[in-house]
Structure 1
Amino acid sequence: MYKAYSLKLNNNFSGFRNKKPKEKKEIEINLSDFCEEDGTIRGDDLIDIWFPFEKYDVFLSHSHMDEDLAYKFSNYLEEKFGIKTFIDSQVWEHMNKLIKKLDKEFAYQEKKGTYDYDVRNVTTAHVHNMLSVALTKMMDACECVFFLNTKNSFVKEIEKTPSNQTYSSWIYLEISNISSLRTLIRREESKIIERGYVHDSVTKASAVTESFKIAYGAEEIKGLPILKEDDLLRWERLSNENRLWGANSLDALYKCVPMKFKREGEK
């Protein structure tokens, strides 16, 4: 990962156009194909099938309630810049489907007609870890991370706690990764020519409601520069003027809205 931005958009952004979601092929597996003779499951092989790794330019972090907006934005990036965007729900199978397969095989007690609670805890923990590792690897491999900053992502205020909090454990993981993953230059940046411009913007956290609530600190989001619709249009213009396409078009974004990570201990 090289750069990260906080994205402030709405569904009426002029750059979006309606497009049918890509059809995702459902995965059907037989767990016996992933088991050794002693019954041990080959976890790495299971991850490769359920959460496969592919090359993407951008990782889009978002609330599951913003999937439609996330998909529209990924279409925009592909059409205007030739950028390939990773959205987990568009590429990977849902983790709950894998958990159910494991539970049916290892946790179901046929005589009682119920599931063993302790075994279910173990299967769920393993699948959550698989997804966590897969997400972290994907974020690390992508050059740029966009965080879709909406009212569905953050808690506005919880009594005396800080304002930047989220109820989503997955958003918590991804935001935490932004501040802890290595930051590397993956390629030589293009030299961008443009007229003078001043960028300044401010973000505010909003509320999200879930049936089961645990709040996680998400203060790292404050350190990310904000992208608004006018920034996207300027990025689009600058990329076109410099004839940039694909990952190279991200260089125009870095020129429009500069950002630098600050690691712990840095001033």
Structure 2
Amino acid sequence: MFRAYALDLDQIGSLIENEPVKSIYDNVDREKINSSLKKFLKANVTCLNGEKLIEIFFPSKCCPVFLSHSGLDKSRVEQFAQWLKKNFEINSFIDSDLWGCITDLQREIDQECKENASKQSIERYIKSRCSGTPFNANKYESTTHVHIMLCQALAHMIDRAECFIFLGSSNSYSNQNGEKGTFSPWIYHELSMVGIMRERKRESIPDFSQLNCSSTMFEGDEGKKKIKVFYPEPLKEHVLLTENCLKLWASQNFSTNSVNDPLSEEAVRLCENKDAKEKWEKALNWLYEKCRKKVTEYETSSLL
């Protein structure tokens, strides 16, 4: 990661309201991931390789921008990702669009363990699932492992991304006794990782590549009482962006001067990919140069 920013989603509604609410990726193949996952679980149900599971379910690809957000803001985050793609050819990482929900992985592990267990284990499994007692070994173990895998995968994606943008909103932030923070453990984890990670030199950032994974959203268990844990804001020195900053950013001309080679479709495709990479690199260069410190609405008038 090279630089981190914070942006208030509640303040940029007019900027992104006309963008489509959909993933920026059209090459997502969730069925292939789930098929590979089921084959792996059936072949290794007695002793699962955690790194292999991460590789299958949380494939790691390079995105220029990592968008940290509340799941309740998914539609607006997708609109902002569309805005970045349209203006700067920037492909953003949105975990739910590209990986789906971790409940999917957890259910697959639980189901496979249940199917391969002895009769006694099955009876114990069902009893623990149906009982109201705190003890639920199967669920607890799968939840712990899956959450650790997700933590590792998220940290890796943040590290590989060039730019981190936290899209805060009334859904992600809260005030408790005068202290700003979040009830989301995932937002807390992502912001904490940004605070811990050392700033990369831009030369060490991997080349951009298209993602080839997919998403399917699953509903969690309903009707269960959930504990609420408050996490004070861990990252307080990120650069603040405003709607005015984004408008100034979008007003710049980052088009490339490359001339497409008309000799073949392949040559044209390669040239277009090169132009897209040059455009988002120029766009991020401008953002880094003009927004190095905390920016107020008053200060944005002098950014140009």
TM-score greater than 0.5 by the shorter chain: yes
Q: Distance in 1 between matches of 2:45 and 2:157?
A: 32
Q: Distance in 1 between matches of 2:234 and 2:57?
A: 31
Cα deviation 1:165-214 (Å, max 9, x = unaligned): 110000000010111012112239xxxxxxxxxxxxxxxxxxxxx96310
The correspondence for 1:171, drawn from 184, 187, 197, is: 187
Given the superposition, is the C-alpha separation of residues 20 and 167 from structure 1 closer, same or farther in structure 2, using an over 3 Å criterion? closer
| Deviation larger for 99-108 or 14-23 | 14-23
Q: Distance in 2 between matches of 1:13 and 1:212?
A: 35
Query: What corresponds to 1:13 in structure 2?
Result: 14
**Identity of counterpart residues, as a percentage?**
29
Deviation of residue 15 (structure 1)? 4.7
- The count of corresponding residues between Structure 1 and Structure 2 is 235
Cα deviation 1:222-241 (Å, max 9, x = unaligned): 21121111000111223548
Is the CA contact (8 Å cut-off) linking 1:99 and 1:123 kept in structure 2? yes
Is the CA contact (8 Å cut-off) linking 2:105 and 2:146 kept in structure 1? yes
Q: Indicate whether 1:25 and 2:29 are aligned.
A: yes
- The structure with more helix, counted as a fraction of residues: 2
Segments of 5+ residues of structure 2 without an aligned counterpart are 116-120, 130-134, 205-224, 258-277, 295-304
- SS of the residue aligned with 1:76? helix
Query: What corresponds to 1:257 in structure 2?
Result: 291
Q: Distance in 2 between matches of 1:88 and 1:42?
A: 22
Q: Distance in 2 between matches of 1:120 and 1:211?
A: 15
Greater gyration radius: 2
Q: Indicate whether 1:185 and 2:201 are aligned.
A: yes
Given the superposition, is the C-alpha separation of residues 74 and 218 from structure 1 closer, same or farther in structure 2, using an over 3 Å criterion? same
Cα deviation 1:87-116 (Å, max 9, x = unaligned): 001100211111111112225753353347
TM superposition score normalised by structure 2: 0.70
Segments of 5+ residues of structure 1 without an aligned counterpart are 189-209, 261-267
Query: What corresponds to 1:227 in structure 2?
Result: 241
Q: Distance in 1 between matches of 2:142 and 2:229?
A: 22
Is the CA contact (8 Å cut-off) linking 1:34 and 1:45 kept in structure 2? no
Query: What corresponds to 1:111 in structure 2?
Result: 123
RMSD, aligned α-carbons? 2.7
Query: What corresponds to 1:97 in structure 2?
Result: 104
Cα deviation 1:110-165 (Å, max 9, x = unaligned): 33533471232111111000000000000000000000011111111x23xx5221
The 5 A counterparts of 1:49-128 are: 49-106=56-113, 109-111=121-123, 113-114=126-127, 115=129, 117-128=136-147
